[in-house]
Chains A and B, each alone.
Chain A
Amino acid sequence: DAEITQSPRHKITETGRQVTLACHQTWNHNNMFWYRQDLGHGLRLIHYSYGVQDTNKGEVSDGYSVSRSNTEDLPLTLESAASSQTSVYFCASSPSGANVLTFGAGSRLTVL
């Protein structure tokens, strides 16, 4: 079955370290998204991509970067992790023209 997987599911890191969260989908979806979930804020969009080599900033993109070198993957990189980036991160994907996003199970990141 096609799916969307995130790794790692849990990670603890230190302030200032570079961290990369992986997102891999096997639906061949063109659209991919990264959101973070925080208490009191709901889900906020970090970055998104509508195809290979396309990346766009969301509402909370500072301190994060993404790259899209193929259809299946959209890794999220924290260049220098900060305690404010402690959160649960969700990757999502959708086919071109679709309204419904399908989400992964999430990656819980703790920055100490």
Chain B
Amino acid sequence: DQQVKQNSPSLSVQEGRISILNCDYTNSMFDYFLWYKKYPAEGPTFLISISSIKDKNEDGRFTVFLNKSAKHLSLHIVPSQPGDSAVYFCAAMGSGGSNYKLTFGKGTLLTVNP
């Protein structure tokens, strides 16, 4: 049973436009959400995160929105650049105790065309 879902395997956008990557989760115990970016032959790198007590977090061109009632989050990249082309993973962490492991979605391949 997949607890973190990224239903779009791929997304293609033009340089300068907005990229929107979506993620849904099913586990109500998740209270912290992260986005990782991964280039080929490299490890995933942390991009941005959001706590469940917030509905938005912004860092430069990257903004993450969280809708707790819908169990949905999205990553907005504005403006998109060719260097943003990578696989983006949504991840979630549960609350309580010493629970520091991440559950990942399957990833979305973003291609930004010049």
Contacts and interface: CB of A to CB of B under 8 A. Distances in A.
B101 A43 contact: no
Contacts of B44: 43, 90, 103
Interface in A75-108: 90, 92, 94, 96-106
B27 interface: no
Contacts, number: 55
B32 A41 contact: no
A44 B100 contact: no
A100 B46 contact: yes
Nearest to A41: B106
Contact of A103 (B32, B41, B43): B43
Interface of A: 31, 33, 35, 40-45, 48, 50, 58, 90, 92, 94, 96-106
B106 A50 contact: no
A99 B50 CA distance: 10
Interface in B2-25: 6
